[in-house]
Structure 1
Amino acid sequence: MAVDPLAEIVTLLQPAARFSKLVECAGLWRIEREATGEPFYCAVIEGRCRVTFGEEPPFILEAGDFVLVPAMRDLVNESIDAPRDLPAVVPKQMSDGRFRAGRLDGPPDLRMRIGHCSFGSPDAALLVSLLPDVVVVRGEPRLATLMQLVGEETRERRPGRELVLERLLEVLLIEALRSGTQPTGAPGLSRGLADERLAAALHALHERPAHPWTVADLATEASLSRSAFFARFSRVVGLPPMEYLLAWRMALAKQLLRSRELAMDEVAERVGYGSASAFSVAFSRYAGVPPARYARSQPLLER
C-alpha cells in the first residue's frame, strides 16, 4: 500500500489543539508575540495585514490567505500603514473567543482566525525540522473552514472531542503543507516531495523503512547518479539521505516502543536492524538511553 511521507510525519507529531480565537483589527495597530516554538496558524477572513516572522522579510496576508508556522518564532503582525514607532498592543477580549486590536469601535478593517496547538511526540523537534519554517497558502477557503471547525470543537465539550480535534488538526496541517508555498525557500520534506525525482526516493524509503537502503539504492529510485542524488537530497530536504533514514527509523522505533505491543526483536526488524542487540546499540547511540529503558520511561501510547 502506498505511503504518504507527509501524512506519516503529521500523524506521528500527535497534534493537539490549545486554543483558537477570532481577532478583529481596525485603524493603526501592531501585535508582537515572542517565539514559543509551538505550532501557530492563521487564516485571514477579511482585510489585509503585514506579517514578519523572526528576521525574515515581511509579507502581506490578504483575505483568503492562510499561514502555518510549525515552530513559532518572533512574530510582528501589523496594519499595512503602521509606522515603525507604533507601540505594540495586546488584543482586548470583546466576548468569548473574540478579540480586538487598534480602534475598538466601528467596523473592523481586518478579521482573522488564529490558532495554537502543540505536538505530543517526543521527537517533535526532529520531525518539525523536516517541515518548512513558514507555509503560506493563498485562495484555499477550506483551510479557514477547517480552522472554524477546530475552534468550535475546542469550545465544546462533546464526547470524542480530543480524537476529533486531533484528526481535524492532522487534516489542517496536511492541507496547508501540500497546498502552500514557502516564502524563504527553506529546505524541508515538503520541498523534497515537490521534486519529482526526490519524491520517488522519499516514497520508497517511507514505504519500506526496514529495507537495507544505501545512497546508491535511493539514487536508483530517483533515477539520478549517486553524487547528484546525495547533493540534491541534502540541499532540498536539509539532511543527507542516510541521516534522514536514521531519523525516520528512530522516530518509528520510539512510536513502537511506546505502544509496547511488540517484542524488542520485532521492533528491531520493523526499523531495519537484523537483531535486537544491533538495534539496541543504534538506538542507545541516537537517543542516549537503551530502548528498554526508553519504553519504561514513556507513557503508554494509545492509538
Structure 2
Amino acid sequence: MTDPLTQIVSLLQPGAPFSKCVTGSGPWQVRRTQSPNPYYVAVLSGSFRYWDSKSGEVAVNEGDFILIPSAQDFMMRSTVSSSDNDMVTDPIILPGGGYRVGRIDGPMDMRALVGYCIFQSDDAALLSSLLPELVVVRGEYHLAMLMQLLGDEAAGRKPGREVVLRHLLEVLLIEAMRSSAEFGYNPGLLRGLSDERLAVAIRAMHAEPGRGWTVAELAREAAVSRSGFHDRFQNAVGMAPMEYLTAWRLTLAKDLLRKRELSVSAIARQVGYSSASAFSVAFGRSVGVSPARYAREQASASAGNATEKFEGAIA
C-alpha cells in the first residue's frame, strides 16, 4: 500500500542543502530566529543542548540527529554552563575549513554537521505542518554517514550533483522521520502513522484519493467507531479526517497541474471530484485561482526559471 510519508517527502521537492562542519569549545550559545527552512544537526562527537519554547531543552549527544522542519526560533548551547555573554553572532572560520563556536584556542568538545534544506514545493507550508516540530533520532550512526555524503556532494561540482543531492536529502528526511522515537505529543502525520488504527485509514486515503471516502468508511477501515475515529484523528494529526483528505487531494491536484499531462476534468476525477466544476470551486476556494490559471502560471514560472538557468550557464 502507498506510503504516505514517502509521498509527502517527494512532493516537498527538497532542494540542495547548505551544510557545514562546526566545532565547539568551552561556553557558547547560538540562537536562530526567523529561519523557515528545515534545519538539521548530526553530532559526530561531543554533545550540546537544544532549546525551543515548545519542546523545551533537549540533550543532543554523539551519534544523535535532530531535524527542525520549521526552525522559527531555537537555541543551541554548550553543555558547559554559558550565559548571554557567550552568544555567538558570527562563528570563527577555521584555517582548514569549518567553523568554531566558543573559544578558538580551547580543546574541542563538540563536532557536528549542521545545515538546512529548502522545500521547493509551493505546498511546503501545508506539508511540513504535518510533520512534528522537532525530530530527534538517537544512536543512528548511518544518518551521520548520510550527512557526510550530503556535505561532500554539496561541496563538489560533479555532473548530476543536483539530482544526487535531492535523492540523498529525500533519503535523509525519510530515515530521520521513520527512525524517530521522540516526536513528542505534537499533532502531525508521524503521530497519526504511529497509531496503528489511524495508519490504516491514512494509507487508504493516500492509496485511493479518488474514492468517495466518508468518515464512516474510514472509521471502518480503522476498525474504530465513527465518533471515536474523528476525535482520535483530530487529536493525532491536528485536523479532521475530511479536512486532511481535501488538503491531500488538492496537493496532488497541484502536482498534476504542474506536470500538464492531464486535462482539468481528468485531474478532477483522479483526485475524487465528481465534476470539473466541483473541483474548480474547491480548488479556487483553497488556492485563490482556477485550476487552469494555476497551470498556466506554473508553466510560465517554470519557463522563466529554465531561461534564467540557461542564461546563467552561458554567461
TM-score of Structure 1 vs Structure 2, range by shorter chain: over 0.9
How many Å apart are 1:84 and its aligned residue?
3.5
Partner of 1:241: 241
Q: Distance in 2 between matches of 1:216 and 1:144?
A: 44
2:309 match: none
Alignment RMSD (CA, Å): 1.6
5 Å-filtered alignment, 1:88-237, equals: 88-89=87-88, 90-95=90-95, 98-182=98-182, 184-237=184-237
- In the aligned structure 2, how far is the partner of 1:286 from the partner of 1:29? 45
Alpha-carbon distance in structure 2 between the residues aligned to 1:4 and 1:173: 14
Q: Distance in 2 between matches of 1:182 and 1:239?
A: 21
What's 2:284 paired with? Answer: 284
Query: Hey, what's the Cα distance between the residues in 2 that align with 1:91 and 1:183?
Result: 30
Residues 203-212 or 15-24, more deviating:
15-24
Aligned equivalents of 2:126 and 2:227: distance in 1? Answer: 25
| Deviation of 1:55 (Å) | 4.5
Scaled by the length of structure 1, the TM-score of the pair is 0.96
Measured after TM superposition, the shift of residue 37 of structure 1 is 1.1
| Alpha-carbon separation, structure 2, partners of 1:248 and 1:96 | 47
Equivalent residue for 1:260? 260
User: Shift in Å at residue 184 of structure 1?
Assistant: 4.0
Q: Number of aligned pairs?
A: 301
Q: What letter corresponds to residue 86 of structure 1 in structure 2?
A: N
* Residues 51-97 of structure 1: CA deviation (Å, up to 9, x unaligned): 11245311110001000011112121111132334331121111475
**Does the CA-based 8 Å contact 1:259-1:300 persist in structure 2?**
no
Q: Distance in 2 between the 1:202 and 1:183 partners?
A: 18
Q: CA deviation at 1:157?
A: 1.0
Amino acid at match of 1:214: T
Q: Indicate the larger mover: 199-208 or 278-287.
A: 278-287
Match of 2:30 in 1: 31
1:52 corresponds to: 51
Q: Per-residue CA shift, 1:113-148, capped at 9, x if unaligned?
A: 101110000010000111100000001001111111
- State the shift of 1:265 in Å: 1.0
Query: 1:232 & 1:65 partners in 2: Cα distance?
Result: 31
Counterpart contact for 2:26–2:106, Cα < 8 Å:
no
Q: Secondary structure at 2:60's aligned position in 1?
A: strand
Question: What does residue 271 of structure 2 align with?
Answer: 271
Percent identical: 53
Distance 1:246-1:183 versus aligned 2 partners, 3 A rule: closer
Deviation digits for residues 255-294 of structure 1 (CA, Å, limit 9, x no counterpart): 0000111111111111001221111111111111101011
CA deviation string 1:205-255 (max 9, x = no partner): 100000000000100010000000000000001110000000000000000
* Structure-2 change in CA distance of 1:291 and 1:95 (3 Å): farther
Indicate the larger mover: 70-79 or 38-47.
70-79
Question: Are residues 190 and 88 of structure 1, via their aligned partners in 2, closer, same or farther at CA, if it must alter by over 3 Å?
Answer: same
CA distance in structure 1 between the aligned counterparts of 2:242 and 2:286, rounded to whole angstroms: 13
Deviation at 1:105, TM superposition (A): 1.9
CA distance in 1 between counterparts of 2:96 and 2:269 reads 51
Alpha-carbon deviation of 1:38?
0.8
* Gaps in structure 2 of 5+ consecutive residues: 304-315
Q: Distance in 1 between matches of 2:129 and 2:237?
A: 10
Residue segments in structure 1 that go unaligned for 5+ positions in a row: none
- Looking at structure 2, the residues matched to 179 and 185 of structure 1 have their Cα atoms a distance apart, in angstroms, of 16
CA displacement at 1:17 relative to structure 2: 2.1
